[in-house]
Amino acid sequence: MIETDIEQLKGIANQLRIHSITSTTTAGSGHPTSCCSSAEVMAALFFGQMRYDAKNPKYHNNDRFVLSKGHCAPILYAAWAEAGLFPVDELQKLRTLGSDLEGHPTPRLSFADVATGSLGQGLSVGVGMALAARVDKLSYNTYVLLGDGEIAEGAVWEAASLAGINKLNNLIAIVDVNRLGQSQATAFGHNIDVYRERFEAFGWRVEDVDGHDLEEIVEVLSGVGLNDQPLCILAKTFKGAGVSFLQDKDNWHGKPLSKEESIRAIAELQPSSRSAAGVPIPTPDILPAPNTAAPSTFPAINYKPGDAIATREAYGAALVRVGEADSRVVAMDGDTKNSTYAEKFFKKFPDRFTECFIAEQNLVGVATGFGARGKVPFASTFATFFSRAYDQIRVAGISQSNLKLVGSHVGVSIGEDGPSQMALEDLAMMRAVAGAVVLYPSDAVSTEKLVEQMAVNRGIHFLRTSRPKTPVIYSNDEQFPIGGAKIVKQAAGDKLTIVAAGVTLHEALKAAVTLGRDGVGVTIIDAYSIKPLGKDVIKAAAAKTGNLVLTVEDHYPEGGLGDAVAGELSGDGIRVHKLAVNGLPRSGKADELLAKYGIDAAAIVAKVRALI
Amino acid sequence: MIETDIEQLKGIANQLRIHSITSTTTAGSGHPTSCCSSAEVMAALFFGQMRYDAKNPKYHNNDRFVLSKGHCAPILYAAWAEAGLFPVDELQKLRTLGSDLEGHPTPRLSFADVATGSLGQGLSVGVGMALAARVDKLSYNTYVLLGDGEIAEGAVWEAASLAGINKLNNLIAIVDVNRLGQSQATAFGHNIDVYRERFEAFGWRVEDVDGHDLEEIVEVLSGVGLNDQPLCILAKTFKGAGVSFLQDKDNWHGKPLSKEESIRAIAELQPSSRSAAGVPIPTPDILPAPNTAAPSTFPAINYKPGDAIATREAYGAALVRVGEADSRVVAMDGDTKNSTYAEKFFKKFPDRFTECFIAEQNLVGVATGFGARGKVPFASTFATFFSRAYDQIRVAGISQSNLKLVGSHVGVSIGEDGPSQMALEDLAMMRAVAGAVVLYPSDAVSTEKLVEQMAVNRGIHFLRTSRPKTPVIYSNDEQFPIGGAKIVKQAAGDKLTIVAAGVTLHEALKAAVTLGRDGVGVTIIDAYSIKPLGKDVIKAAAAKTGNLVLTVEDHYPEGGLGDAVAGELSGDGIRVHKLAVNGLPRSGKADELLAKYGIDAAAIVAKVRALI
């Protein structure tokens, strides 16, 4: 650390306060008092502690900063402006449609690795980044600023536990304990000992400071990297600190000052404020940049038509194969790796695998953190348990993260374990994520080809894998472009087009045999790409069957394949009928359940007969 | 507690083991070794500690038992069979389609208050039940059995924190620390001190015991209710305990024994096993039963057409009004009560309100617990933050819980706070929940009427409220039956039917004025009931406009109103076109965002002109 001028930092802290107040007053909304409580911490971090290239926020060995308390965006923006990344005048565009300085940070900004604003998510991302630094042998530290209110979120403790287990001494959490939440005081107020005991119990080294005393802050920051534990700094602060009529006052959460109030506030702050222009910022170590390029090819696959292989098992094989060719690929799982088959990758590349235990929010957050560092993270668990992390996935959508989610054990076809283990709403959930790609293979070959594309293409991709073994139906050189669909069976005179995926594709093929005996021909389409949907293929096929379509899915009727097809094609006059799991399922054998809930071959036959 | 015969309990524990082993062997799947680790704890709880009427599991002052580690269902079933609720022979029907003894417990069974099996959810439910006991002035205790693997879930720590804050000394968590997870050992193995420090830091009294030593277990259970803290009992156990070739062995998670192995296991256990038949079970205190009846009427409302009131604000008023008439109504919020307007209820009925702080998983779990005790819980937060609790909501769907969720701040119409605070996937998420009702009012009157029905009707109901003020458009005596839809505007010669809800209904009304000037008539339908959808109303209206429909929603295009309408009506030949938020939104003024993302009046006018 460059020798620190404490008086200078005090002045910068007030400058950051002034920017936070004026920009929110100009915007007419925002959280100036939440910014004021963290002003000294922000000044100390950005102007002396953190090692980074302020002109190049993406530099691979820059220290990382995650603003978990995302509503303090104005002070983050102020810090980067003062560091010279962009003119301070820009700050007055806060929250306007034309500016990337939004109400909460998003990666539209070069310095925001992830979107924040849904509280309690930043520490998981920080854990992923800190783990990525190890994989890449880089020396950057990861700093995460949290609010005291948000550490009521369980996701924070999932992250804290994994950081402790992995002894991440390159990870620093600073908690801005300003005592006041949105609607009332927090449960523990300024009882710092409660927080100390919690973080210590979760394996952290804990320091507490007066969060407005820069000497104390600088002192504890000088201990970053000591011993082998992650470091938590508990900063006792006051909301609205620095302004007499705001400090520690109720009912100031999320409210801008009026013009007149802001003038009074600035009058208090300005005499001791100073610009950070010219303040030297420590530079990062020069270390080799990790590979960030995708491979041009992958090793070939070699399946035989008719072989019975569950798509979850093919996923495990694919991940190893893709991981061999692509050093960016890392994987993680939530203590289900023997069921999702991520275990195959773990055994082959233990250093590129993170066991996240039974903590799916953190699983997704850690993966997001890896993705933000140029890795290609594949996170797996039972598909239905991703519902645990839906908020993290949603926010990864806002971040447009490079995140690969693989969910196994979908639908009633898992059988005896019963409904708590069945993913029946995952397609609805994942389709609604901004920009997400949703894939649902039916055999081993298509699984392998889709995993290749997941690795190469940027963005959120969800792969839905099944528990039962299904026969290989494609040849090894078949291609499965994302956004496509595959015509598996089609003949002149077909009466209806069936659109299916996963286990129901195989049920549809069986149904076609029965129907064929009666002279009823049906076209069958494998909708392996649920989003984007292979709309043109389906539309063209439907046109040849009188615009009559039947969708069949091992999912609830809402928001899945049927709604996707109807939602995209109904406007074109295509009549879409749906078969989906028609009740709250229970335990039983897979075949019994496919029959009972109306999605097996017999149900398809009956429905087709009723429709034609 | 009735004087305890330790030898008898030891025998019962082995009897429970035998049932767990034989039933899973017969089923050919299940988790016998996870049952064996908890056999002594289960024997002590069910045959001496817990006060309950074994013939009437729903009796209002019975002690409650929540099996958070739901995969140990076989031993739970065995305990109730041994307690005399049903014949032990029934246990051999485990996991078969004809039996309610499913792979994981569900409330199809009279003794299961909630479904478990998605780990880490039981403690939150237990907190809700323990809080309900206080509200109802009942003396029952709530026991929650957790696995050590599942306490990696953050939701457990959300629940633990709130239990500590509320000093719930009627809540007892027993952790079966058997050291082995599904795919590998847990992070902390038998390091009991780690767990002790964590629970203590979260405000609990902690005892640790040898989980196979009944004297120790009975001793610590005798201390239930001492002091004012919740009690955590850390039971050091071995997975597969009691059977030499299973105990503490890897690779036995979730695997039944073969027939031959089960014979060997029983040979070890049987000599010291004994039936619980005739063992006296302590009886609960006789205390008055709480009211569980819905009121027949509610106080009238009095709005004036044209008044500008946000539906979120009308929700607050409705909750107070309904709560006055219905003593079953309780409420809870996640530190957003001043934004959701739940604060109105909190101020009026502080004893019936639980502040859950920023911890949405626990918020939903606590509400589910209240619902399982005959209360009508209204849980509120920003709609998008319910995504944090999607797994809890999903499992409440399996439980068919009586749970009312109210989500505010939906869509781009919240404006400047930006995408992290906008619910844009909540309709997709909630529609896919089994049996859930999804409601989306457009004005204060419809909000009030829908809240009344939410209180009276059983089951999961989600109410989507909006941030902006909207004019009252209905008279005070208008009715809004769930599953209905309201024709707001219709005339002979209309060219197209617009289906909208919330803010977009008002945009549609504005669009109709513009279109009317050009002589283009449109029918406008308020789809206040998204699920079940007012399908017949829409279909009949569409028939009069050439089967041409346009949906408009402040939600992403996937899984929301448009997909609902298309998915339900496309098969009837109705052509459904959609307007929905057509990109990843950003901060800006509400009006600017409605325009930019294509769902304002101008966008509707343009789309209608293109379609007709």
Q: CB of B597 within 8 Å of any CB in chain A? A: no
**Chain B contacts in chain A segment 65-84 (CB below 8 A):** 70
Q: Which residues of chain B make contact with A566, given a CB cutoff of 8 A?
A: 563, 566-567, 570-571, 576
DSSP helix/strand/coil, A376: strand
Does residue B320 contact residue B346 with C-beta atoms inside 8 Å? no
Cis peptide, bond prior to residue B282, ω within 30 of zero:
no
Does residue A121 contact residue A173 with C-beta atoms inside 8 Å? no
Please provide the distance, in angstroms rounded to a whole number, between the alpha carbons at the two ends of chain B: 77
Q: Which of B122, B68, B153, B159 is nearest to B357 (CA)?
A: B159
Sign of the CA dihedral with A183 first, then A187, A193, and A198 last: negative
Q: Which residues of chain A make contact with B576, given a CB cutoff of 8 A?
A: 566-567, 570-571
> How far apart are the C-alpha atoms of A470 and A479, rounded to whole Å?
19
CA A31 from centroid of its chain's CA atoms: 25
What residue in A sits closest to B31 (Cα-Cα)? A417
What residue in A sits closest to B118 (Cα-Cα)? A420
Does residue A561 contact residue A551 with C-beta atoms inside 8 Å? yes
Disruptive mutation site among A179, A390, A550 for chain B (greatest number of B CBs within 10 Å): A390
Q: Which helix (H) or strand (E) holds B380?
A: strand B376-382
Contact B421 A333 (CB under 8 A): no
Query: What value, to the nearest 5°, has the Cα angle with vertex A155 and ends A149 and A156?
Result: 55
Q: CB of B352 within 8 Å of any CB in chain A? A: no
- Pairs across A and B, CB distance < 8 A: 358
State how far the alpha carbon of A70 is from the alpha carbons of A158, A211, A232, in Å.
19, 18, 19
DSSP helix/strand/coil, B522: strand
Q: Kindly write down the DSSP assignment for every residue of A495-518, as one continuous string.
A: -EEEEE-THHHHHHHHHHHHHHHT
Does residue B329 contact residue B322 with C-beta atoms inside 8 Å? yes
Quick: pLDDT tens for A546-557.
Answer: 999 999 999 999
Strands B469-471 and B308-310: antiparallel
> How far apart are the C-alpha atoms of A575 and A548, rounded to whole Å?
5
> How far apart are the C-alpha atoms of A153 and A163, rounded to whole Å?
16
Nearest-Cα distance to chain B for A561, in Å, is 10
Q: What is the mean pLDDT of residues A502-524?
A: 98
DSSP B277: T
Q: CB of B152 within 8 Å of any CB in chain A? A: yes
Q: Nearest by CB to A420, which of B115, B359, B560? A: B115
Nearest-Cα distance to chain A for B576, in Å, is 5
State how far the alpha carbon of B350 is from the alpha carbons of A382, B137, B329, B330, B561, in Å.
40, 16, 12, 10, 36
CA A241 from centroid of its chain's CA atoms: 33
Does residue B322 contact residue B298 with C-beta atoms inside 8 Å? yes
Q: What is the mean pLDDT of residues A464-488?
A: 98
Cis peptide, bond prior to residue B532, ω within 30 of zero:
yes
Q: CB of A595 within 8 Å of any CB in chain B? A: no
Nearest-Cα distance to chain B for A61, in Å, is 28
DSSP helix/strand/coil, A298: coil
Global ipTM: 0.98
Disruptive mutation site among B332, B417, B608 for chain A (greatest number of A CBs within 10 Å): B417
Q: Which residue has the tokens 């069957």?
A: A545
Contact A418 B30 (CB under 8 A): no
Contact A587 B425 (CB under 8 A): no
> How far apart are the C-alpha atoms of A54 and A82, rounded to whole Å?
10
Does residue B469 contact residue B309 with C-beta atoms inside 8 Å? yes
Classify residue B137 by burial, with Cβ atoms within 10 Å: 0-12, 13-18, 19+: exposed
Is the model's pLDDT at A235 over the cut of 80?
yes
Does residue B246 contact residue B185 with C-beta atoms inside 8 Å? no
> How far apart are the C-alpha atoms of B114 and B154, rounded to whole Å?
20
Q: CB of A338 within 8 Å of any CB in chain B? A: yes
Q: What is the mean pLDDT of residues A479-494?
A: 98
Contact A154 B158 (CB under 8 A): yes
Strands A460-464 and A437-439: parallel
> How far apart are the C-alpha atoms of B533 and B527, rounded to whole Å?
7
> How far apart are the C-alpha atoms of B170 and B150, rounded to whole Å?
22
User: Alpha helix (H) ranges present in B51-121?
Assistant: 73-82
Q: CB of A106 within 8 Å of any CB in chain B? A: yes
DSSP B180: B
Q: Which helix (H) or strand (E) holds B5?
A: none
Tokens of B233: 């009992």
Q: Which residues of chain A make contact with B577, given a CB cutoff of 8 A?
A: 571
Q: Which residue has the tokens 């949105």?
A: A182
Classify residue A268 by burial, with Cβ atoms within 10 Å: 0-12, 13-18, 19+: middle
Contact A97 B593 (CB under 8 A): yes
Tokens of B392: 């809890």
Q: Which residues of chain A make contact with B431, given a CB cutoff of 8 A?
A: 428, 558-559
> How far apart are the C-alpha atoms of A519 and A521, rounded to whole Å?
6
Catalytic residue among A102, A150, A207, A360: A360
Tokens of B203: 């405000």
Q: What is the pLDDT of residue A1?
A: 45
Does residue B480 contact residue B534 with C-beta atoms inside 8 Å? no
Query: What value, to the nearest 5°, has the Cα angle with vertex A24 and ends A19 and A29?
Result: 165
Nearest-Cα distance to chain B for A16, in Å, is 20
Contact B184 A355 (CB under 8 A): yes
Disruptive mutation site among B167, B539, B558, B586 for chain A (greatest number of A CBs within 10 Å): B558
User: Alpha helix (H) ranges present in A326-443?
Assistant: 337-340, 343-348, 360-372, 390-399, 426-431
Q: Which residues of chain B have pLDDT under 50?
A: 1
Contact B335 A200 (CB under 8 A): no
3-state helix, strand, coil in chain A (%, to 5): 40, 15, 40
**Chain B contacts in chain A segment 170-189 (CB below 8 A):** 181-184, 186-187
**Chain B contacts in chain A segment 29-58 (CB below 8 A):** 29-30
Contact B559 A558 (CB under 8 A): yes
Q: What is the pLDDT of residue B3?
A: 60
Quick: pLDDT tens for B258-284.
Answer: 999 999 999 999 999 999 999 999 999
Q: CB of B296 within 8 Å of any CB in chain A? A: no
Contact A418 B387 (CB under 8 A): no
What residue in A sits closest to B419 (Cα-Cα)? A398
> Is the entire prediction scored with pTM above 0.95?
yes
Nearest-Cα distance to chain A for B400, in Å, is 9
DSSP helix/strand/coil, B143: strand
Q: CB of A111 within 8 Å of any CB in chain B? A: no
Classify residue A277 by burial, with Cβ atoms within 10 Å: 0-12, 13-18, 19+: exposed
Q: CB of A157 within 8 Å of any CB in chain B? A: yes
Does residue A448 contact residue A321 with C-beta atoms inside 8 Å? yes
Contact B416 A103 (CB under 8 A): yes
User: Alpha helix (H) ranges present in B336-436?
Assistant: 337-340, 343-348, 360-372, 390-399, 426-431
Q: CB of B433 within 8 Å of any CB in chain A? A: yes
Disruptive mutation site among B156, B438, B563, B592 for chain A (greatest number of A CBs within 10 Å): B563
Contact B558 A567 (CB under 8 A): yes
Quick: pLDDT tens for A431-475.
Answer: 999 999 999 999 999 999 999 999 999 999 999 999 999 999 999
Q: What is the pLDDT of residue B1?
A: 44
Q: CB of A469 within 8 Å of any CB in chain B? A: no
Q: Which of A348, A502, A523 is nearest to A426 (CA)?
A: A502
Q: What is the pLDDT of residue A135?
A: 98
Q: CB of A11 within 8 Å of any CB in chain B? A: no
Classify residue B90 by burial, with Cβ atoms within 10 Å: 0-12, 13-18, 19+: middle
Nearest-Cα distance to chain B for A557, in Å, is 7
Q: What is the pLDDT of residue A3?
A: 61
Q: Which residues of chain A make contact with B582, given a CB cutoff of 8 A?
A: none
Contact B390 A395 (CB under 8 A): no
Q: Which residue has the tokens 């995209």?
A: A568
Q: Which helix (H) or strand (E) holds B489?
A: strand B486-489
Query: What value, to the nearest 5°, has the Cα angle with vertex A518 and ends A516 and A521?
Result: 40
Q: Nearest by CB to B201, which of A198, A416, A531? A: A198
> How far apart are the C-alpha atoms of A216 and A223, rounded to whole Å?
11
CA A400 from centroid of its chain's CA atoms: 8
Contact B106 A586 (CB under 8 A): yes
Q: Which residues pair with B119 in a beta bridge?
A: none
Looking at the annotation, which residues of B are catalytic? 360
